[in-house]
Chains A and B, each alone.
Chain A
Amino acid sequence: MTEQLLLYPLLLQMFLAIVLMFSWSRISWQKGISIIGSFLNLGVAVWLFSHVWENGTQTIQAGNWAPPFGITFVADSLSATLVLLTSIAGVAVSSFSSASVIPSRLKFGYFPIFHFLLLGLNGAFLTGDIFNLYVWFEIIIITSFVLLTIGGEKAQLEGAMKYFTLNILASVIFLTAIAVLYGLTGSLNMADLAGKVAAVENRTLIQVNALLFLIGFGIKSAVFPLYFWLPASYHTPPSAVSSIFGGLLTKVGVYALLRVFTLIFELDTFLQNVLLTIAVLTLFSGAIGALVQNNIRKMFSYLVICHIGYMIAGLGMMTEVAIAGAIFYLIHDILVKTNLFMVTGVIYKLKATNSMKKLGGLYADQPLLSLLFAIPLFSLVGIPPLSGFWPKLSLIGAGFETGNYVLIGAILFASFLTLFVVVRFWAEVFWKNGEKVEKIRNFPYFNKLRNYKKFQIIGPIVFLSIITLYVGFGAENIQALATRISYELMNSEGYIDAVFSNARIMEK
């Protein structure tokens, strides 16, 4: 039962997507199946996580081919944690989209595609084979294209063109990097590559190859100067789609960077400097970009970019404390960004506009909702004891240890600008007296929705806020998890042994 446990998240999502395709025209069925299926998936993910937590890294060899010949699936603590977070975000967004996305969009296979996207995410986190990772990336991007363009509005199509071109370019660069790596080592299994890359004599080619991976994943994770597709496209689709994109898609790129640069390539001083420079510039450009925006969803898109910088900084410093900080930030960021894009969706439903100038007076209208929205907003800023504070503490501590004072400055500057942006957002949207906005006829205003739909919209925000609060107040548990993940990443022998020991058992 538990031998194949790490395939269950994949199989369940694929099964769900296929079942949903069979009820193509019955939207209400799709909503029910999607929500129930997401909860099932959450259960499976919790099971996988606790199994990995207790028994260490789990592996499975597809078709019983001994590694490094077959495709390997590996669930170490990092993978299991990210699968768990994906399923948490999946439950939230599934419920949120069933009430907030209009039926004329849902009609075109929104839910099946959504579950294929989650399948791709789970697959990318669980695979232990670099070419297989490419395939999962392609599943992620092709489903995200469809989700981005469903509805076919002008802004959506324009945003999709940019998103599409740059993501395909990233895939081609990633494929090129895989080709070069295969030519140099003759292997695709990540655990096997770890040893073989170290043994290659032509270090220059390995360097170039590492940079190709960095560029490919850099475009996906939207770091400076490769992020321009993100603010051009993330504010165009329905906010349910933005929330799954903002929460998870860029984080897959970060996951791939973490995996490739801890397991396969060794970071030398040059690559470390490149990563640290990228981190500093990403922090600056994202924060300053967010400062000038008027559209609230565009503002949060820039904050997504800004906060990727923290994770890249953690990777760049490459000490155990720094990586633990980056992992903690990753956990915090997935929960908070998913939540914030849903918050912007509710604000749009309340006021029918995204413009910060026109919005206002939300606190007077909806005091309870405003207090709820304050939780993710102030977690994002990292006001202690909320969740954004703890990882920054680790990152700054690691910065002092390694003597990267410019980086510490950039981290503090970006935190301060995030605070400024969020406070301005709060003042403009919640406290300022709103203009009288003309009511749009036939617009599905939040107040006009039925009660169960209101619950489906607010429920996920409450759910994610509670988890965020837990991450903040129960920080010692999350820190223990992050430290363990960081230890496993820094000492990759455990990962390699887990992949190959399984094979030895099979031979007997």
Chain B
Amino acid sequence: MEILLAIMVGTLYAAGIYMILRRSLVKLIIGIILLGNGANLLIFLLGRIAKGQPPIIPEASKTFLEAYSDPLPQALILTAIVISFGLQSFAIILVKRAHKVVKTDDLDEMNATDEYS
């Protein structure tokens, strides 16, 4: 399970970076989404996966006796998902506006701000 997730995280990162390096605006957005998902899965993976072990301390003892599934990574991922959702929806609107105003979806042609003026 862990190894599968690790490969998947790696693939998502690689695909995300590849997509960001493409010249099309839409692929840029897809790249950002893939990268965000990769990061979320990475948090999930690094929080250690323990199946069917609730993070509840038995009444008799004061500390955990066995491996337990950590609830914190899920809270972190939830936060990160909400944030990336907001950013992505903003990004899509921004790309739509940029495409309308600049009239191109080729990033190589979006260089007016870098030119000497």
Show the binding face of A for B, using Cβ within 8 Å.
131, 134-135, 138, 141-142, 145-146, 149, 152-155, 157-162, 164-165, 168-169, 172, 175-176, 178-180, 182-183, 186, 188, 231-233, 235-236, 292-295, 355
Contact = CB atoms under 8 A, between A and B. Distances in A.
Interface of B is mostly: helix
B83 to A, nearest CB: 5
A175 B43 CA distance: 8
Interface in B28-82: 28, 32, 35-36, 38-39, 42-43, 45-48, 70, 72-73, 76, 79-80
A145 B98 contact: no
Contact of B46 (A154, A159, A172, A179): A179
A164 B91 contact: yes
Interface of B: 16, 20, 25, 28, 32, 35-36, 38-39, 42-43, 45-48, 70, 72-73, 76, 79-80, 83, 86-87, 90-91, 94-95, 97-98, 101-102, 107, 110-114, 116-117
B54 to A, nearest CB: 18
Given A141-B87, A145-B90, A149-B94, 8 more contacts: A131-B76, A154-B112, A157-B98, A161-B28, A164-B94, A165-B20, A172-B35, A175-B39
21 contacts: A138-B83, A145-B94, A152-B97, A153-B101, A154-B102, A157-B94, A158-B111, A158-B112, A160-B94, A162-B113, A168-B91, A169-B32, A172-B32, A179-B42, A182-B72, A182-B73, A182-B76, A183-B45, A183-B46, A183-B47, A183-B48
Interface of A is mostly: helix
Contacts of A355: 117
A161 B90 contact: no
B22 to A, nearest CB: 12
A135 B76 CA distance: 10
Contacts of B80: 134, 175
Nearest to A141: B87
- Quick one: which of A164, A172, A292 has the most chain B CB within 10 A? A172
A131 B78 CA distance: 12
Contacts of A145: 90, 94
B114 A294 contact: no
Contacts of A157: 94, 97-98, 101-102
A239 to B, nearest CB: 16
A38 B38 CA distance: 40
